Structure 1
Amino acid sequence: MTHEVVGRVEELGSELAALADENESLGKLSDRTVELLRSAGVIRMLQPKAYGGYEAHPREFAEAVMEVARHDGAAGWVCGVVGVHPWELAQMNPKLAQEVWNDDPDTWIASPYMPNGIADPVDGGYVLSGRWPFSSGSDHCRWDFLGALLGDGKGRPAGPITVLHVVLPREDYEIIDGTWDVVGLSGTGSKDVVVDKAFIPEYRTVRQEMVQEGTAAEAIGLTDTLYKLPFSSMFPLGITAAVVGICEGALALHLSQQKERVAVTGVQVRDDPYVLYAAGEAAAEIAASRVQLLDGISRLYDQVEAGKPISLEDRANVRRNQVRCAWRAVAALDEIFARSGGNAIRKGNPMQRYWRDAHVGLQHMIHVPGAAYHANALAAMGLELPEPMRILI
């Protein structure tokens, strides 16, 4: 059964698609696009019901992100990234959730999780400074999740390395305009943010390892299956869902444009077996990516629901497949783009935007195959993973 949010996105699809060029030109989502996404409820899919959310199955969240991305890759990307943050916030001190959502359940939270700052301990919390690139959707968010290294009190990382996720209100960080000048996913507005000696209360922080291992929820007495899933499976889910959705949108557009196209040879493309073969094969590959991505997170959910622990190998398998889903789908997009004709490269043709957005999506660190595949092979052989390699597994 289709989730009600997915149904609403389907109804809004044509308007979302019509706004995609404006988003790219603005270098961020337009106010109207954000209004549509808020009305659909995509960002609240993983939010607790107590704060106006749906507490949806993560599979349904991924389906909603794919549906948005089919129409506008940038909007889908923002939904995939920003939409995971309510899931993590739910696992932190309930005081923070009340602070963020009590007045407005549609409050959005941005993030760059990379530990680019130092959080020095002080009475009651930490003092944070640093600069983070790639804060997607930041112009429309009132809070930001940032990764930080635990400091030694003197602005240097303390040993051994400990990574914190910290949450800051908008007044405690600066968004740097002009820092998102890119060839694809321009509408995501993934700008740099800067923090200069901001005080972070203890309750607005969580250790990354607790979210990574799925133990943060347990620490605050949260028993819902959704919030026991590991960060390394949930965070990549939304991003890869956006990439798969972009490829689905490109395929649909390709088929629509080729239906009446006549090649320079005078042959109608619909009578060209080579182009149609490529389209059919691409459709199968993109569909396989969708199914495998949804299957991976569903299997983990079912394990937790049944009271079974999630092993490192389980996580490594899901990460391996999630990476492969993205690369498989984009490779299929390349095959149809190459057969879309010269008009596909015109700036007025959305086909070239889908192609650019998909390739930029592959640049995200969660789509780098080397470490994910390496870690998976080690885990499958029952061998230890080097500590740095465990971070995203």
Structure 2
Amino acid sequence: MTHEVVKRIEELAPELAALAETNEQLGKLSDETAALLRQTGVIRLLQPTDFGGYAATPRDFAEAVMAVAAADPAAGWVAGVVGVHPWELAQLDRRLQQEVWGEDPDTWVASPYMPNGVAEPIENDSFVLSGRWPFSSGSDHCQWDFLGALKGDGSGTGAPVMPPEVLHVVLPRSDYTLVDDSWDVVGLSGTGSKDVIVDQAIVPAYRTVTQADISDGTASARSERSEAVYKLSFGVMFPLGITAAVIGICEGALAAHLAIQKDRVAVTGVQIRDDPYVLHAAGEAAAEISASRVQLIEGISRLHDIIESGGTPTIEERSNQRRNQVRCAWRAVSAVDEIFARSGGLAIRKSSPMQRYWRDAHVGLQHMIHVDGVAYHSNALHKLGLETPPGMLVTI
């Protein structure tokens, strides 16, 4: 059964698509695109119901992100990244949830999670945070930001505690600065994934959570939320929105390719509809992209069903999902390469959406969650019955 949010996205898809070029030129989502996303409710899909959300299944979230990305890759990317943050926020202190959503349930939270700053413990159960973080997608339209940080050792020197302890720190817009000229890229330009600078911000401890607690389920148990979606691991939920966006981009690329080919005539005078080689590539690409979609959704749904029935996914089951999630993205983008090479000269014109889909899909693969080495290595160790190094467990 199609979720109401997905239905609204499908209805608004032509409007989202019409704004895609504008977003790329702006280097961020336009106000009109952000308003359309709010109208669909896609960012509230994983938000808890007591704060105006849907507490939806991961399947509904993935399908919604794919639908947005097929219309506009940048908007889909923001929906996938910003849209997963309510899932984590739902597991944190209720005081923080009230601060973020109490007055406006449509308040958005950006990120990045890389630990580029140090949170130094100070008196009154607080931290002082400084640092600079790149890649804060959709940040122009967000009023809060999730930032990764190393916990300081308390010496006041900026030295991290050893062994390192990573915190996720949530800051209001007044405590950080966006660097407007920091997002100049070849793809996903419309995401506005700008740098964030923090200078001596005071952060109460209730606005923080250790990465270990959010990864191993401790934060979820502490939140006492009953919905199965909040009991999934960070290592499979955070990548979900990003990979769903990449697959949606590839679906949009396929649609753009087919639109070009329908009436295209090659230089030989042959109509492409009569060219068996181009049609073979299109059919094969469609199958590959569809397989990526099905495998991603089926895998996360299986983990969700295990939890909903009272079970706990094993490390190997989570590792299988991470392995497959990475492969889904690479498979879908490889399929786009095959059809882009057969789309003809018109596809490379800047006026063609095909070239934008192609660039955006490849930039989507650059995200660290699509680096295949660790995911495949870790999964192979599980298959061999060997111990996985602790550093790899955080990824699942």
Structure 2 length-normalised TM: 0.98
SS class of match (1:105): coil
Residue 215 of structure 1 deviates from its aligned partner by 2.5
Secondary structure in structure 2 of the residue aligned to 1:304 = helix
Deviates more, 1:123-132 or 1:236-245: 123-132
Asked if structure 2 preserves the Cα contact closer than 8 Å seen for 1:47 and 1:90, the reply is: yes
Q: Which amino acid aligns with 1:317?
A: N
How far apart are the structure 2 equivalents of 1:384 and 1:126? 36
**What SS does the corresponding residue of 2:197 show, helix, strand or coil?**
strand
Counterpart of 1:182, as a letter, is: V
Tell me, yes or no, if structure 1 residue 387 matches structure 2 residue 387: no
Matches within 5 A, 1:343-358: 343-358=346-361
SS, match of residue 126 in structure 1: strand
Instruction: Report if aligned partners of 2:55, 2:227 keep a CA contact under 8 Å in 1.
Output: no
Match for residue 62 of structure 2? 62
The equivalent of 2:103 in structure 1 is: 103
The counterpart of 1:243, out of the listed 246, 259, 264, is 246
- Letter of the 2:394 partner, please give it: I
In the aligned structure 1, how far is the partner of 2:99 from the partner of 2:173?
A: 13
Q: Which amino acid aligns with 1:87?
A: W
Equivalent residue number for residue 333 of structure 2: 330
The aligned counterpart of 2:94 is 94
Q: Secondary structure at the match of 1:22?
A: helix
Cα distance in 2 for partners of 1:221, 1:171 equals 30
Q: Which deviates more from structure 2 when the two are superposed, residues 94-103 or residues 377-386?
A: 377-386
One-letter amino acid matched to 1:48: P
1:13 alignment partner, SS class: helix
| Aligned match of 1:41 | 41
Amino acid at match of 1:119: A
> Identity of paired residues, percent?
70
The match for 2:77 is: 77
CA distance in 1, matches of 2:63, 2:393: 28
Residues 100-119 of structure 1, C-alpha deviations (whole Å, 9 max, x = no match): 00110000000000111111
| Structure 1 residue aligned with 2:20 | 20
- Which of the numbers 190, 193, 200 marks the counterpart of 2:196? 193
- Displacement of 1:93: 0.5
TM norm structure 1: 0.99
Question: What is the CA distance between 1:391 and its match in structure 2?
Answer: 2.4
Q: Secondary structure at the match of 1:127?
A: strand
Structure 2 runs not aligned, ≥5 long: none
Any idea what the Cα deviations from partners look like across 1:78-102, whole Å, max 9, x if unmatched?
0000000000000000110001001
Is 1:133 aligned to residue 134 of structure 2?
Answer: yes
SS at match of 1:116: strand
Instruction: Tell me by how many angstroms 1:220 deviates.
Output: 2.6
Alignment of 1:156 with 2:154, yes or no, is: no
Q: Which residue of the partner structure matches residue 142 of structure 1?
A: 143
For 2:209, the equivalent position in structure 1 comes to 206
**SS across alignment from 1:348:** coil
Tell me the C-alpha RMSD between the 2 structures.
Answer: 0.8
In structure 2, how many angstroms separate the alpha carbons of the residues matched to 1:270 and 1:55? 45
Separation of aligned partners in 1, 2:217 and 2:309: 15
Task: Check the 8 A contact 2:137/2:193 in 1, yes or no.
Answer: yes
Partner Cα separation in structure 1 for residue 385 and residue 118 of structure 2: 35
Please list the CA deviations of residues 19-56 of structure 1 after superposition, one character each: whole Å capped at 9, or x if unmatched: 00000000000000000000000000000111110111
Report the counterpart of residue 300 of structure 1 in structure 2.
303
3-state SS of the aligned residue for 1:347?
coil
4+ runs deviating over 4 angstroms:
none
Tell me how far 1:142 sits from its aligned partner: 0.2
Separation in 2, partners of 1:221, 1:21: 44
CA contact (8 A) 2:265 2:272 kept: yes
Q: Is the 8 A contact 1:217 1:223 kept in 2?
A: no
The one-letter amino acid of 1:144's match is D
Distance in 1 (alpha carbons) for counterparts of 2:13 and 2:247: 16
Q: Please show how residues 232-381 of structure 1 align to structure 2 within 5 Å.
A: 232-381=235-384
Does residue 230 in structure 1 map to residue 233 in structure 2?
Answer: yes
SS in 2 for 1:326: helix
How far apart are residue 224 of structure 1 and its match?
Answer: 1.6
Give me the whole-angstrom Cα distance separating, in 1, the residues matched to 2:160 and 2:251. 43
**Shift of the alpha carbon at 1:382?**
2.3
User: Separation in 2 of the partners of 1:186 and 1:27?
Assistant: 5
Partners of 1:323 and 1:121 lie apart in 2 by 37
Gap runs ≥5 in structure 1: none
* 1:280 Cα deviation from its structure 2 partner: 0.2
Distance 2:159 2:387 in 1: 29
Instruction: Give the secondary-structure state (helix, strand or coil) at the position aligned to 1:107.
Output: coil
* 1:269-289 alpha-carbon deviations (Å, 9 max, x no partner): 000000000000000000000
Answer yes or no: is the 8 Å Cα contact 1:43–1:79 preserved in 2: yes
**Which amino acid is 1:130 matched to?**
G
Q: CA deviation at 1:185?
A: 0.1
- Mapped to 1, the partners of 2:120 and 2:100 lie a distance apart of 24
Counterpart of 2:11? Answer: 11
Q: What does residue 118 of structure 1 align with?
A: 118
Note the alpha carbon deviations across 1:269-322, whole angstroms, 9 max, x for none. Answer: 000000000000000000000000001110110111112122211111100000
Could you give the per-residue CA deviations for residues 151-179 of structure 1, whole angstroms, max 9, x where no partner exists?
Answer: 11231110111111110000001101111
Q: Is the 8 A contact 2:90 2:223 kept in 1?
A: no
Cα distance in 2, alignment partners of residues 380 and 74 from structure 1: 36
Alignment correspondent of 1:168: 171
Write the distance in 2 (CA, Å) between the matches of 1:32 and 1:220: 35
